């Protein structure tokens, strides 16, 4: 029997909470068994992870710093997912965006531009480079039938190779002997910190981008058209929607978010473009997007969770005598658990289907 619309909505809401929560719980159990085989107490490891992520004000600020780029790279996967696309090119778009932002800053500094103009040039260059990078994967999809998953993954490697080639060649600073990089941007052109905390403005950029993308995809005609195209392409075409244009534009918007993450890393963290831009934030952003069910608003708390896991790696290494990459094992287990949990979607009996109406009681006979 069909469920009532309100019951169906309640079931979907319950599943959207129960499945990720179950995947996280299962991942922690498997991870606990893994660290136990390494001779560590799982409960001590969990406690140190909490302490390294949220236990002190310093560790919490470190978590916020890591969460900022994760919000933006997660949007690179979450937005195309509205059209049924699996884009995993956040790492390449972030690297290319950071490289373009550093190049724009050096060009603007050579023209003696004021700090605000330098930051504006970095912002425009980062957004444009990321948009073009992932937009290329979308264009290959709609015009040549190339899988966006494969093309965006390969573009990651091309972007990293392009970064290494330029920072070790044409854009290399002669003073960077041990670690090739571009010339640094001036201190006055760096992206500052939020008032009262040692967290740069990238956190605000990430949170605002998540809110803006939520409004765009949930409250606008563009978002409705994207959802309709992702749900049923044939129906979208019959309705006259420009599906190809929607795919390319959405991929460009997604790439712009990842390019913004690269700009923030250059302007607020590294101060130059180097191999340090290849930090894995783009790949972790894929996990954040899937864990958040591709909901831009849900990306914010999930990015904080994954940022905290990454921030706790050093403390786990010192206290539990485990490798720093141990937290990467947990992230991998989380990703597998999330993918496995999707097989249960729609099969959980979280709400009871309404049964047939009960017959009216028979009248009492005196």
Residues 6+ apart with CB under 8 A from 5: none
Task: Please tell me the pTM assigned to this model.
Answer: 0.87
Domain positions in the chain: 69-298
What tens digit of pLDDT does each residue of 40-68 get?
899 999 998 999 899 889 999 999 999 99
Q: Which residue has the tokens 């950029």?
A: 205
**Tokens (6 digits) for 172:** 């290399």
12 pLDDT tier (thresholds 50, 70, 90):
low
* 120 CB-contact burial (10 Å; exposed 0-12 / middle 13-18 / buried 19+): middle
H helix or E strand, kind and range, residue 318: helix 313-320
Chain segment 291-339, per-residue pLDDT in tens: 888 999 999 999 999 999 988 888 888 888 888 788 888 888 988 888 8
**Residue 101 contacts residue 262 (beta carbons within 8 Å):** yes
Evaluate whether 155 touches 92 at the Cβ level (below 8 Å).
yes
pLDDT tens for residues 213-258? 999 999 999 999 998 888 888 888 888 889 999 999 999 999 999 9
**Angle at the Cα of 307 from the Cα atoms of 124 and 86, rounded to 5 degrees:** 65
């Amino acid at each position: 029997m069909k469920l009532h619309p309100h019951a169906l909505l309640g079931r979907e809401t319950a599943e959207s909470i129960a499945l990720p929560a179950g995947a996280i719980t299962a991942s922690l159990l498997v991870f606990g068994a893994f660290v136990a085989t390494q001779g560590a107490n799982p409960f001590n490891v969990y406690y140190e992870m909490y302490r390294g992520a949220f236990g002190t004000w310093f560790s919490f600020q470190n978590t916020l710093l890591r969460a900022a780029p994760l919000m933006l790279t997660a949007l690179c996967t979450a937005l195309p997912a509205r059209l049924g696309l699996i884009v995993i090119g956040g790492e390449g778009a972030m690297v290319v965006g950071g490289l373009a932002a550093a190049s724009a800053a050096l060009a603007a500094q050579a023209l003696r531009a004021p700090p605000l103009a330098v930051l504006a040039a970095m912002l425009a260059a980062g957004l444009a480079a990321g948009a073009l990078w992932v937009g290329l994967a979308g264009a290959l999809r709609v015009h040549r039938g190339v899988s966006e998953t494969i093309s965006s993954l390969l573009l990651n490697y091309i972007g990293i190779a392009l970064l290494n080639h330029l920072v070790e060649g044409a854009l290399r600073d002669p003073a960077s002997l041990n670690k090739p990089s571009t010339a640094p941007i001036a201190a006055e052109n760096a992206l500052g910190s939020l008032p009262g905390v040692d967290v740069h403005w990238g956190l605000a950029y990430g949170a605002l981008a998540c809110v803006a993308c939520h409004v765009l995809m949930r409250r606008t005609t563009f978002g409705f058209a994207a959802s309709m195209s992702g749900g049923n392409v044939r129906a979208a075409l019959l309705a006259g929607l420009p599906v190809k244009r929607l795919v390319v534009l959405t991929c460009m918007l997604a790439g712009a978010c990842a390019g913004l993450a690269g700009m923030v890393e250059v302007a607020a963290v590294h101060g130059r473009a180097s191999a340090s831009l290849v930090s894995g934030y783009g790949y972790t952003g894929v996990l954040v997007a899937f864990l958040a069910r591709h909901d831009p608003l849900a990306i914010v708390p999930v990015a904080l969770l994954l940022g905290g896991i990454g921030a706790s790696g050093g403390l786990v290494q010192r206290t539990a005598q485990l490798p720093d990459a141990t937290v990467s094992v947990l992230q991998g287990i989380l990703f597998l658990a999330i993918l496995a949990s999707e097989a249960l979607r729609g099969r959980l009996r979280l709400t009871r289907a309404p049964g047939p109406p009960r017959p009216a009681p028979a009248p009492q006979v005196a």
